[in-house]
Amino acid sequence: MAGDIVIRAEALTKRYGDKVAVDRIDLEVRAGEIVGILGPNGSGKTTTILMLLGLTEPTGGRATVSGFDPLREPLEVKRRVGYLPDQIGFYEGLSARDNLTYTARLAGLTRVEIDARFADALGRVGLAESARARVSTFSHGMRQRLGLAEILMKRPAVAILDEPTTALDPHSTQEFLAMIRALKNDGTAVLLSSHHLDQVQSVCDRVALFNRGRIALAGTVTSLAGEVLGGGHVIDVEAAGADIAGRLSALPGVVRVQPLGPNLYRVDCRHDMRAEIARALAPSAELTGISFAAPSLNEVYNRYFEEARNAAD
């Protein structure tokens, strides 16, 4: 169902002096796909974004966005890409309309196009009543949505969102994620950088995990879970009794046991061990629940970096 490839990076590299910020990364994003890019601060996410936009020159490798090279034809690329920077600012003294009109003029839209798209874009982000209000009266969430409206007006092939939900309240976050899904339905390819793993998991089709300038892992959350958590058989056990954790870890085939709460344990195992666990606990413990746990990106992320740290030591 995915469309044409709109972002392609091949061995893209950026060095600042001796320091390698981005190290030979390969990335493909198709139309109508939401790809999450994750990783600690300073792992090369923003540098990659800037290279894709043509705002920074790569030291090696190549990238194409909608078939254009950001290095040679940055204007063609930027005409097709909407970018929401992580720290967004507007001209405080101007109205929402004047702010967006300015960037739309810079984007090369005509007056007629601006008039036609403005109301629609502002309506979609829920700011229709604030069109004439000065941006200085806007809350953080409204500014973020105004930034998204700017992207909508451009009708880009690619939208790059750099930590768009940081510092939004839970309700605004859900609304914002819904707007991102709407972009996907328009056929826009979305590159979403975020630290909120549960949000990434809920909207992204695929994720790419950055570590020290490289893409350490890439794929769907389920496939990453298989890779990192080993087999992907994670079972939640709800049981009351003495030394449940110890008895669980003693079972052959159990990789790891993690207490999640009172009488709740998460068990990683090599194969489906629900029956064996039930049998082992039955004699002396009160088993109230046993089920497969959905792999969470949070877990994948933490486990990966735990292992990476252990490997480095």
Partner 1 sequence: MPRIRRRGGSPWTGLGAVVAKEAADHLSSARMYILEALVFLSALTAAYVAIRTIRATIGESPFLFLRLLTLSQEPLPSFISLLGFLIPLVAIALSFDSINGEFNRRTMSRILAQPIYRDALLLGKFLSGLLALGVGLVSLWLLVLGLGLVLFGVPPNGEETVRMLGFLVATLAYGGVWLALALLFSVLFRAPATAALAALGVWLLFALFWTMITPLVANAISGPPEGLFGPRIEYLDTAQIIDRL
Q: Which residues bind partner 1 (CB under 8 A)?
A: 53, 55, 71-76, 78-79, 81-83, 85, 87-92, 102-103, 105-108, 147, 150
* 89 versus 259: smaller Cβ distance to partner 1: 89
* 75 versus 240: smaller Cβ distance to partner 1: 75
* 81 versus 239: smaller Cβ distance to partner 1: 81
State the Cα–Cα distance between residues 192 and 205, nearest whole angstrom: 11
The nearest distance, CB 135 to partner 1, in angstroms, is: 10
Torsion over CA of 45, 186, 295 and 309, rounded to 10 degrees? 0
- Contact assessment for residue 141 and residue 167, using Cβ atoms and an 8 Å cutoff: no
* 77 versus 179: smaller Cβ distance to partner 1: 77
What residue ranges in the chain does DSSP mark as E strands? 5-16, 19-30, 34-38, 60-65, 81-84, 158-162, 189-193, 206-211, 214-219, 233-240, 254-261, 264-269, 286-292
The nearest distance, CB 179 to partner 1, in angstroms, is: 18
- Contact assessment for residue 238 and residue 287, using Cβ atoms and an 8 Å cutoff: yes
State the Cα–Cα distance between residues 176 and 181, nearest whole angstrom: 9
* 85 versus 231: smaller Cβ distance to partner 1: 85
The nearest distance, CB 192 to partner 1, in angstroms, is: 16
The nearest distance, CB 79 to partner 1, in angstroms, is: 4
* 43 versus 99: smaller Cβ distance to partner 1: 99
CA atoms within 13 A on the CB side of 212: 5
State the Cα–Cα distance between residues 33 and 189, nearest whole angstrom: 5
* 29 versus 254: smaller Cβ distance to partner 1: 29
The nearest distance, CB 183 to partner 1, in angstroms, is: 16
The nearest distance, CB 9 to partner 1, in angstroms, is: 17
SS3 190: strand
SS3 35: strand
- Contact assessment for residue 246 and residue 233, using Cβ atoms and an 8 Å cutoff: no
298 backbone dihedrals φ, ψ, rounded to 5°? -55, -45
The nearest distance, CB 87 to partner 1, in angstroms, is: 5
